[in-house]
Chain A
Amino acid sequence: MTAFKYPNLPFARCPELEGASPTHPVAIVGAGPVGLAAAIDCSLHGIPVVLLDHKDTVSDGSRAICWAKRTLEICDRLGVGQRLVDKGVTWNRGNVYLGDRQIYQFDLLPEPDHKRPAFINLQQFYFEHYLAQHVQSLPGIDLRWQHKVIHAQQGPESVTLTVDTQDGQYTLETEWLIAADGVRSTIRDALGQDFQGRVFQDRFLIVDIAIQRDDPAIRRFWFDPPFNAGQSALMHKQADNVWRTDFQIGWDADPELEGKPETIIPRIKKMLGDVEFEIVWSSVYTFTCRRMEKFRHGRVFFVGDAAHVVSPFGARGGNGGVQDTDNLIWKLALVRTGQAPRSLLESYNSERRHGADENILNSTRSTDFITPKTPVSRAFRDAVLDLARDHEFARRFVNAGRLSTPAAYENSPLNTPDTDNFAGTMNPGTPCTDAPITIDGRKTWLLDQIGTDFTLLYFGEDISPATRATFDALSVLQPSVRPLVLAPDGIAAARYDARPATAYLIRPDQHVTARWRHLRLEAVSAALDHCLTRT
């Protein structure tokens, strides 16, 4: 019933196994969603990159399934967004039930005129497969499957990796290393870095089932459902008519027994009734909320689960990881070409730690609600659920996962603080909100027109010769700033609180870094210097 065929990712020899010892500009360890996104972004920025992974196929099992709007927007910039959306199941809505009664409903994208939905659901193996296929079409990516990195050592000028293959071991030299090697990161261990946080004493069972069912793709979450009394459960649609079911089973549950088909089948029948289904994948899991103290150690950057892990409620793992590389690669590219000093790299640490802390905070709050730790915590949780049956206010306390929203770096040192007055939400540090726009009579989307380089959004109609001269001067700055003229009265203008002559300076990762009511070359140039820590 399932359509996905696991690709066989072949081993290939490399120059190091032939005795060569080049120093690579960037190496990435781990070709999961985050490592693949990093490699593609490196290619877009013209950085030759080696990507190593020990596996011989993509992700075993569906694992991460919820990809947020921001991830899709980043994937659009990487050139693979449409394929993900075409295959994925689009959804915006969620229902929360207590027992068999619905007590709360949410809509994550209440506003029209965005290119991408709030979320798609797509099995992690599709995500990885599509990104890996896209890698094949791009220049400068040396993707090495079945090359297992077993050690890393940092020197003053480079990082040395020890790599194990079926044809023997070799060492690899790289100027910069990106560790995308997951929660059990070999690189983190090799560098002797710890990974602090909270362990949650509860167990959950995921069962992906293939079933013909026409229900709409709504995220459904139950507290104390009749089919899993006293615990929680979740059901969510994926591609290929596969449904994710996720059951809280308690700390005392026997993981081996719970993972057996003879236990799973009656459990699913209790939930769905007597229907025909096929078990596609199952996994008993526990989780932790942890992060490293620092995400950058000299020439080594930690991204994704290697740097931080959260509980799955909220879809903040994979989505947080993709935002890591979105933040990192343009900085690395500008430092490599000498257009920014190394101090810019430290902002990867501060900005993404902020993102990770936000994810850990939300994830911990959800987990404390779903899995109360103490009798008093349990009493308050049960009190909220009890009150939610009759009282509207209590429904807003019900926390079945606060879903991933993009991190805004509002306190980032890279931002130029406002000197002019703006209303609305597009503060410096915020990722750009999408809007439909028209360029030369052609309809397109704002986020399809910005990113990878610095852009100046200029809201205006009749561009004066003086403004035109400023545009010309911006385009010869190092790095170049590309002007994009937008109508001063459209949807974009409303979302950016723009008036004629309003200008926004946008970073290569589509975050706002400065804005003004009037365009002045010196101000833009100073904001660019500030954003690159050149001042």
Chain B
Amino acid sequence: MASKLRTDLQIADPDSFYEDLIALHKDLTDEQSALVNAKLILLLANHIGDRQILDEALAAAKKAA
């Protein structure tokens, strides 16, 4: 099956998004940060919806770890 997870750059201004991502966790405890990250993952995963893309993303994330 052809890969459906896009891994070429999709975000117009990656430096700015990265900055916002880090800023999201400003003043949060580790526990609060973990909660925010979990909510972010769930929101994005639901938006994507496509199970093949999600499975490929799960595998890609684990591989990098």
Instruction: Give residues in A with beta carbon < 8 Å to B.
Output: 375-376, 379-380, 382-384, 386-387, 391, 393-394, 397
Contact = CB atoms under 8 A, between A and B. Distances in A.
Contacts of A394: 42, 46
Contacts of B39: 383, 386-387
Given A380-B42, A394-B42, A397-B42, A386 B35 contact: yes
B5 interface: no
A487 to B, nearest CB: 41
Contacts of A397: 42
Q: Chain B: interface secondary structure?
A: helix
Q: Chain A: interface secondary structure?
A: helix
Nearest to B33: A379
B34 A375 contact: yes
Interface of B: 31, 34-35, 37-39, 41-43, 46
A391 B41 CA distance: 14
Nearest to A381: B38
Contacts of A380: 38, 41-42
Nearest to B38: A383
Contact of A393 (B31, B34, B35, B46): B46
A382 B42 contact: no
A391 B38 CA distance: 15
Given A376-B38, A386-B39, 18 more contacts: A375-B34, A376-B34, A379-B38, A380-B41, A380-B42, A382-B35, A382-B38, A383-B38, A383-B39, A383-B41, A383-B42, A384-B42, A386-B35, A387-B39, A393-B46, A394-B42, A394-B46, A397-B42
18 contacts: A375-B31, A375-B34, A379-B31, A379-B35, A380-B41, A380-B42, A382-B35, A383-B35, A383-B39, A383-B41, A383-B42, A384-B42, A386-B35, A386-B39, A391-B43, A394-B42, A394-B46, A397-B42
Nearest to A383: B38
B24 to A, nearest CB: 14
Contacts of A375: 31, 34
A379 B39 CA distance: 9
Contacts of A387: 39, 42-43
Smallest CB-CB A-B distances: 6 pairs: A383-B38, A379-B34, A383-B39, A379-B38, A393-B46, A380-B38
Nearest to A376: B34
A382 B41 CA distance: 13
Contacts of B38: 376, 379-380, 382-383
A379 B42 contact: no
A391 B39 CA distance: 11
B51 to A, nearest CB: 14
A391 B40 CA distance: 13
B44 to A, nearest CB: 12
Contacts of B37: 379
Contacts of A384: 42
A382 B42 CA distance: 11
Nearest to A378: B34
A265 B24 CA distance: 45
A4 B19 CA distance: 67
A487 B26 CA distance: 69
Nearest to B49: A393
B58 to A, nearest CB: 13
Contacts of B46: 393-394
B35 to A, nearest CB: 5
A382 B36 CA distance: 10
Nearest to A377: B38
Residue in B31, B37, B38, B46 with the greatest tally of chain A CB atoms within 10 Å: B38
